[in-house]
Structures are given as C-alpha cells and as structure tokens.
Amino acid sequence: MNLPNQLTMARLGLTGVFVGVLSFEWDGMAMVATAVFIVASLTDWLDGYIARRMNLVSDFGKLFDPLVDKILVTAAMFYLVAGGWLPIWMAVLMVSREFLITGLRVMAAGKGTLLSAERLGKHKTISQIVAIIVTLLVASADEACHMTGGSFTNELWFWFLDQSVYWLFLWATLITVWSGLVYFKKNRHLLHGEMSGAGTDAVKPPVLNP
C-alpha cells in the first residue's frame, strides 16, 4: 500500500477517534474533536497532493479516498445536527447525495467501470469541510466560554463566525446537490442500461472520469 493510500486509511482511523471523542460528554470535547477533524481533513489534501506529485494514483485511492471523505463528513454532520448547529434538511440533502453517488459507483463497479471523484466533487468536499471546521470552531469557542466563565459570545469575531455557519452550509448544500446532478448526468449511460433492462454485455465500454 503506497503512502497516499496509507494516509487515506489513517483518515479513516482518525474518523473513528473523532466519533469516539464525541461519544461522551466531557470538558474540552468540542475542542479536541475540532483538532482531530482538522488533522483528518489535512490528510485528505496531503494524500491527493502526494499521489499527483509522485504519480501514485491508484484504483484503490480513486475508490476509497472519496468514500473515506464521505464517512468523515457524515460523522461530523451527525454531531452538528444533534447539537443544533446544522439544519437537518441540509444534512439530509448532502448525505442523500453521497448515498446516491456511492450507489452509482457500486453499479459501475459491477460493470467493470471505476468512477473516480471529479473536480466539482472535490470542490463539494472542500465546501463541506470548511463549513464543518468553522462550525466546530464556534462550538469550541462556546465550550471554552462555559469552561472559563469568559465572554467569547460577546466578541465580534464570535458573532461573525456564528452568523456565517448557516450561509456556509447553505453554500455547501447547493454545491453538493449541483455536483451530484452533474455526476449523474455524465454517467447517465449506466442508468439507461439498467432502466432499459439491458444486461452487462450491452453496456458501452468503461468510461473513466477525469
């Protein structure tokens, strides 16, 4: 397993740590979870950079890198919805898109086609991660305020971050839905084959997305 793939699996492990940190109520929980999420997010950038720089792009990375991203982001969304930071309708739209795209990839894999993540999908992931990190920072500041008896909530920067959370997630939701529609449109030949009742032999030759 090459270095980018090792980083991908490390991100999966950090996702487990992230979930574990949030599984129990304790002082500093949000701050530690934020730090773990940021480190995990950095591995997403790093494994892609190394894979491209050292020409280590692999089928494993094409499949598991976006899948692990989805697991990490979905875990964070569960926490933010439970805490009242993320509107549930936004979370449902974003998570539904991920399930549908994963289903499309499974369908393609059954026909010998490997669908890798596209550039718009990467923008989607970045927008989600930025929104989550900002929200986690706000939650951490709120936690620190309660722990120290300070007045972070009265600071202008805290107010700005708090107000930006909704709009960041709205932007992430729009990009997520749009990227999903584009992805389905580019790979609609897979759906046409299923809906018309065509067998595997009738499917066009595999198409790899850039």
Q: What pLDDT was estimated at residue 10?
A: 96
Cα dihedral 169, 171, 177, 182 sign: negative
Give a three-class secondary structure readout of 79-100: HHHHCCCCCHHHHHHHHHHHHH
Least confident span in 66-70, 71-75, 86-90: 66-70
Q: 113: alpha, beta or left, given left = phi > 0 and alpha = psi -120 to 50?
A: beta
pLDDT value at 73 more than 60: yes
DSSP labels, 144-183: HHHHHT--GGGSHHHHHHHHHHHHHHHHHHHHHHHHHHHH
Q: What pLDDT was estimated at residue 34?
A: 96
Residue pair 43/9 in contact by the 8 Å Cβ criterion: no
Residue pair 2/60 in contact by the 8 Å Cβ criterion: no
Answering whether pTM is above 0.75, one says yes
pLDDT value at 3 more than 50: yes
Average the pLDDT over 150-174 and give the result: 81
Q: What pLDDT was estimated at residue 193?
A: 61
Residue with tokens 């591995």: 43
3-state secondary structure of 2: coil
Tokens of 8: 């991908």
In the chain, what are the domains? 3-202 (1.20.120)
Tens digits of residue pLDDT in 89-144: 999 999 999 889 888 887 877 777 767 667 788 889 899 999 999 999 988 988 88
Tens digits of residue pLDDT in 132-156: 999 999 889 888 887 877 666 666 7
